Structure 1
Amino acid sequence: MPDDSGRPAGLETVEDGYGTAPLDGNRSRRPPLRSQNRPGGLARNYSHNPFQHAQRYNGETMAQMISLARIESRRRGKIGIRDRICCYQWTWFTMTMATGGVANVLYSISNTYKLKWLEDIGVAFFLLNLVLFIMNCVLITMRFVMVPGSFMHSFLDDVESLFIPSVVVSIAIIMTNITQYGCPHTGPWLQKVMEVLFWVYLAISVIASTGMYLVLWSTQTFPIQTMTPSWVFPAYPLLLNATFATNLISTDRVGPGDPRSNRLAVATTALTTQGTGFLISFMICAAFIYRLMTQKLPRDTQRPGVFISIGPPAFTVAGLVLLGQQANDILPPDYPDKSQAVFVLELLSTLIGLWLWGLSVWFFVVSVGSLWKYTRNGHSMPFQMTWWSFVFPNTALVNATLALAKALGSNGLQIYGCVMAAALVLVWIIVFVMMLWSLWSRQLLWPKELDKEG
């Protein structure tokens, strides 16, 4: 008998909360795939040309591949640490996006009010994020080694592939934190290193974004009825360029004999890629609104992912407004009519920033409103890694609010941004504790019994 989702009984999809919902009648009823030779053989059978069989690898077949790779352990009735590591996915890098984003927010506030204790807390979040990022890299590498073929198949999975760029975003946030917390306390050598890394990251962000979308468009089919804001994720690497650039320019301390960094080139290229990322995200978010008008809100496990739509306009506001405020430092000293040009750039960046900030706040209100039903009895939202969406897009909104407060000289906006930052730290703590509890209670990183007969 089929279950409520339309899948045959005994077949269970690995849920990370970000995947697109299956369409009744549109997804083929495939029987469980079995390895013909040995555990993990499913991955090996198609490793020679995985793109030829791209349509086979949806959320179900990816879960089956992982389950088959650990079939011997399941037969013994023992599930150990190796089995749990095999369930690791790219979505775990959303945790490092959120943690690094909190460190970014705390730096912005501590730099404004010159609070040493708050800066120390920010450093603690930054160091914790480094540990979590290294842990993620090690564990997901172990999964790829223990389940041969799963690396390539992760690019072809309609659930997991969208979040591969979260690794690139995490790297961008880490480099931004290094610029914030490291450059002011070191010599010009670190500034020069981070400038070089900026150009490297800019190239990587363009390649990662365009490459990932090309892979998705070549191997996957995403009907509009199943649309979620996670479609924006491959564009997210582009959205961190302006934030990286503003911090690089603001920490550029030119002393006697120190070379001045090429601020104009950094700013213009950052604006170009930032604008590209925002426009791509804007078009995708427009498709999401169309989906909401025709298909209602996403299902419970996907509901936190609605917050992802806050990120693109918010990241753009934070980068654009701060670059506008740095126009006097960016433009060369011999620029014609420099004072007038600086005034125009500051005014223009603030006006555009207000528009996009309003859009980001609107998405925030909609996202919060979509959670209203969970305040009533009988409605619950099980923990998934989607819960980190409560944090990392909102770090961009807090930074955008603080940037506009600085540009407008508004104490009210400044206080509002600080209150949002405090609430965001509290949400981060709640999500982190819930994640640890879910790991302990075997709700996360626990093999699903997909092949009942295996």
Structure 2
Amino acid sequence: MSNNTHLNLLQLGSFFFGTFWVSIALILYCIQSHGVPSAGPWLVKTLKVCFWLYAGCALLVVVFQYHVIFDEEHLPVTECMPAWILSAYPFLALGPLATVLEYSQPQTSAIPIMVGGIVFQGLEWMTAFIMYTIYFTRLINSDLSESKRPGMYVAVGPAAYTSNTLVALGVHAPKVLPATFLGITSVPTGDLWKAFAVPAGMFLWLLGFWFFALATMSVPWWYKKLHFMLNNWAFIFPNVGLTVALIQIGKVLDSDGIKGVCSAMTVALVIACIVVAVMNVGAVWRGDVLWPGMDEDVEDMEGHGQKMRPD
């Protein structure tokens, strides 16, 4: 592999650095859900500090990641994939993280976290919206190879997790926001916030489902060629956001039908997660992934026709 090719792979792979920060946010999410009810007020204060530290780190990641990509790499529009959104993924989990942190925080801390969750999620959504435009251009102008089609599910994530954020923050708003927040005295501000946020979340959920349907329609065309690649994990995380957002919508509407659909989606996700995990272990054991020339980077390597397997 030439030095230039190796550099290009590093630059393209840098898109995936954002997923590391999503993992950190999910760890904080789980600490709030499982640790706070059993711990003292010290953990509540710790999570408040962690939220803002994470937000600052996420902002630096998004700024510098895209700076490096824009400055060092010239990527053709015809090669655009939803993975180009991944550098903004650290903000994807900030909104949902804010929704679980705010109700255990004192009001002086809960309001800034709520506002921070909205604005940071908004940055992620607008970045994704811009990338959606480029992605649509690619879908119209060129075909997707079979190996890249599971990555289409990544496009579900921004709409799904933003929907979850809007609905959840809207539901909590009457409890968190003072009645005269922002100087509004005619109606309780929390109720007004909820009235706008919940319908907006429903609006975005259907967009996420549309991306899910597009990706799902493309899968049957290549199922006979199905083999594990690391982007197969896109079957899981974005669709978890779609499911969690629908759970929030089902609760706020008190709809038994929606709750039943959510149960079915949850079962399907658990099965999919187990299948992908087993395929992942098998692929590593056989040397089909994490080896030079045997992963999704094979199409970007010089001499990719000569694949290298471990003995």
- Alignment TM-score, normalising by the size of structure 2: 0.89
Structure 1 or 2, whichever has the larger Rg, is 1
**Paired residues of 2:85 and 2:131 also in contact (CA < 8 A):** yes
Residue by residue, what CA displacement relative to the aligned partner does 1:180-222 show, whole Å, maximum 9, x if unpaired?
Answer: 1111121111111001100001111111111100010010011
Q: Which residue of 2 aligns with 1:267?
A: 114
**Paired residues of 1:172 and 1:201 also in contact (CA < 8 A):** yes
Q: Which residue of 2 aligns with 1:289?
A: 136
Structure 1 position 311 matched with structure 2 position 164? no
Matches within 5 A, 1:248-267: 248-252=101-105, 260-267=107-114
Matches within 5 A, 1:53-202: 57=4, 61-62=5-6, 157-202=10-55
CA separation in 1, counterparts of 2:45 and 2:111? 15
Task: Tell me which amino acid in the other structure corresponds to 2:129.
Answer: F
Task: Tell me which amino acid in the other structure corresponds to 1:318.
Answer: N
Task: Tell me which amino acid in the other structure corresponds to 1:437.
Answer: G
Structure 1 position 429 matched with structure 2 position 274? yes
Residue by residue, what CA displacement relative to the aligned partner does 1:238-290 show, whole Å, maximum 9, x if unpaired?
Answer: 121111100101344xxxxxx55511111111101111110110110121111
Residue by residue, what CA displacement relative to the aligned partner does 1:358-387 show, whole Å, maximum 9, x if unpaired?
Answer: 100100110100102134xxx312211011
Q: Which residue of 1 aligns with 2:213?
A: 365
CA RMSD of aligned residues (A): 2.1
Deviation at 1:426, TM superposition (A): 0.7
Give the counterpart of 2:170 among 291, 305, 324.
324
- Segments of structure 1 that go 5 or more residues without pairing to the other structure are 1-31, 34-55, 63-152, 253-258
Deviation at 1:341, TM superposition (A): 2.0
**Paired residues of 2:155 and 2:211 also in contact (CA < 8 A):** yes
Structure 1 position 389 matched with structure 2 position 231? no
Task: Tell me which amino acid in the other structure corresponds to 1:269.
Answer: G
The structure with more helix, counted as a fraction of residues: 2
Deviation at 1:339, TM superposition (A): 5.5
Deviation at 1:448, TM superposition (A): 4.5
Deviation at 1:337, TM superposition (A): 3.7
Give the counterpart of 2:262 among 396, 409, 417.
417
The number of residue pairs the alignment matches comes to 295
Deviation at 1:447, TM superposition (A): 4.1
